[in-house]
Structure 1
């Protein structure tokens, strides 16, 4: 669904022509009327939308459409992309699309889809990419590799690394990455993984991570590029939020910065996070991170979507 609009894109997963995975249907959820159908030669692996562009991802191609007229603007050949990896910025002032650039290393190609030109290539990881997402303002892109131990954040404008976070020491599959909806820092980046834990990373909270070195002898001899990975102050974990191995996706829905009215000093960062698990559960969390990087959280509700019954319409 396109944000909170009535535009819904549906791709089938069956053998019948109406449920074909090669068929994309656009619906108006207000009227219930189909708007347009797009058919492709191979299965559709992913759909991305913002208010100007519709992106359709196949295994070896990416199609860019103007979302109002559905006229095709460009087609990009890609490396074999069996996971359908793609990220699209929701911001029209920085309207970028990211696609994997390699099947052997974690590099990404970033395109400006307003003019359909290549913007840059970012070499983020040694292992192939597993997940990537743009920040709400299109300024940053976060990536994780198939190894799943590091999450890196790059500045899109000049393809430089701004943050590097260690999720853990052991490999884990990153299922999703999600920035908060903040247009400016501070912001929160959430990651879900096969370990069952939800990882939260804070960006721009207090001092920049590169300006703060880990204390002690180890921090004094390790270069900045490595040192920021070792500082746990910007990393918080909700342990065992989801059963290990169950695929899940988290979305940061709201971020609110609480400041001191007299000094304008940032006191805390509050957020609302929703989690969907592939075994049928919906969870909603309230999060709060204070100026000392202490996390407090509460599970506001948890619903088994597989057992929910709708009231009968009279």
Structure 2
């Protein structure tokens, strides 16, 4: 989620990884990564402003886009890095600013305002490009699953397209599958479930949330968020596809329940695209494989103009006249965000309602996690039997700048709550040139020495603040001490079930 000029602090970007086990933020100084359960910082760098950061599950691979504060951190440049070795694997430069990056185990997607580039993650080969209608808000979603690997993005504004349409693109076979007439107004938010069989969408009106089957495009659910328009900030499925959480510019987080008969829920213990919700950097074997796989040529370019997509689409999914008569279901549960004053904030907000927020639903516990652009992390308990108002369990203040924030008391529980240019192999990556159509070399980026303590999470924290763990000056990596849950003497790292098999090439 891009925050940019709306930020009241140094925060520029925030996102969860694909299984919601980690939170990554980009700031005017650098970026940080946090484990979510228990919540704590596990890695950070202060090289320069980062406008976009995307993780690949819990591996050490991160994709970074600069915020433009320095020449080396251009918003037109994508850098793929290994945080464990503190080395740059490759770099790609584009003709205009990168607006969004999406990752799964097989594909990397880079979105510009009118172009989408698809890469093979195993070798960073350019597989396909798509010309799109202007999409300045970078509305798009990539399925986390390597098996049901689909890309969804709005088609509004293109030749022959109407507002509210979604194009479903098969990122493996590299062909359009469906155009779904999802809404009557432009699409504002999209989210896939864990196994890529469901797609949630919301329009810029924000009153109705719809869920479609993938790849058929059949509408399965229609939920009523509210009667008044709202800006949808984020949507997230629980990993078993039983719940969908939605945040907006109101102070209410809505949770909708999906009936089993209408969906194809994945196994909560580990969907085909999941990682068992392990902690950041939990698989060193994957990192070595990733470095090797990225060190090959980025060649092979094909393009599909938007106007020609329609001829390749297998079916055009029109709104079902009967289904439009459904009475949209109301939320099953909801959570109320504390007011900024109650959360300990006394500054003026650039937004008139609730701050931008991200939501996640735990795959293990019945918990809702909400992260706001003010630097607040709220954890709620969701009653899976009765629903209703969620109970606030924990409030953590996260420092979004270099200065440590003051401790924040927790509110009372239940209270008010063109083609890309040449990538370059860095000295820490596998050797090899990266020729590309019309591309030029960017030169090498020096690999920095790995830090032995850069992948340990801070343990379970009381409702206080999280500042820097030390050091963190310019061009420095922020190491963290070992976390052993709530007890530093414990020998167990705060990781969930390690049931995932990372990258086997």
Report the TM-score range of the alignment, normalised by the length of the smaller protein.
0.7 to 0.9
Q: State the shift of 1:285 in Å.
A: 2.2
Number of residue pairs matched?
A: 280
2:357 to 238, 248, 259: 248
Q: State the shift of 1:225 in Å.
A: 3.6
Matched, 1:295 2:388: yes
Instruction: Say if 1:168 and 1:81 are closer, same or farther in 2 by CA, change over 3 A.
Output: same
Query: For residue 210 of structure 2, what is the aligned residue in structure 1?
Result: 152
The structure where strand makes up a greater share of residues is 1
Once residues 200 and 374 of structure 2 are traced to their aligned partners in structure 1, the CA distance between those partners, rounded to angstroms, is: 26
**In the alignment, is the contact (CA less than 8 A) between 1:163 and 1:228 conserved in 2?**
no
Matched, 1:192 2:247: yes
Q: Secondary structure at the match of 1:181?
A: coil
1:181-260 mapped onto 2 (5 Å cutoff): 181-182=239-240, 185=241, 187-204=242-259, 225-229=324-328, 231-232=329-330, 234-241=331-338, 244-254=353-363
Q: Secondary structure at the match of 1:254?
A: coil
Query: For residue 477 of structure 2, what is the aligned residue in structure 1?
Result: none
The C-alpha deviation readout for 1:179-203, integer Å capped at 9, x for no partner, is: 1112xx5x11011000121010111
1:129 to 187, 192, 195: 187
1:271 to 355, 366, 379: 366
Q: State the shift of 1:93 in Å.
A: 1.6
Once residues 204 and 383 of structure 2 are traced to their aligned partners in structure 1, the CA distance between those partners, rounded to angstroms, is: 30
Once residues 339 and 130 of structure 2 are traced to their aligned partners in structure 1, the CA distance between those partners, rounded to angstroms, is: 37
The C-alpha deviation readout for 1:118-170, integer Å capped at 9, x for no partner, is: 11111100000110011111111000000000000011222111000000000
Q: Which has the higher contact order (CA 8 A, sep 6+)?
A: 2
- Consecutive unaligned residues in structure 1, runs of 5 or more: 210-221, 256-269
**In the alignment, is the contact (CA less than 8 A) between 1:96 and 1:113 conserved in 2?**
yes
With structure 2 as the length reference, what TM-score do the two structures score? 0.53
Larger radius of gyration: 2
The C-alpha deviation readout for 1:256-290, integer Å capped at 9, x for no partner, is: xxxxxxxxxxxxxx622222111111222232221
Greater CA deviation, 14-23 or 47-56? 14-23
The C-alpha deviation readout for 1:34-59, integer Å capped at 9, x for no partner, is: 11111101000000000010000000
**In the alignment, is the contact (CA less than 8 A) between 2:248 and 2:357 conserved in 1?**
yes
**In the alignment, is the contact (CA less than 8 A) between 1:110 and 1:118 conserved in 2?**
yes
Query: For residue 47 of structure 1, what is the aligned residue in structure 2?
Result: 101
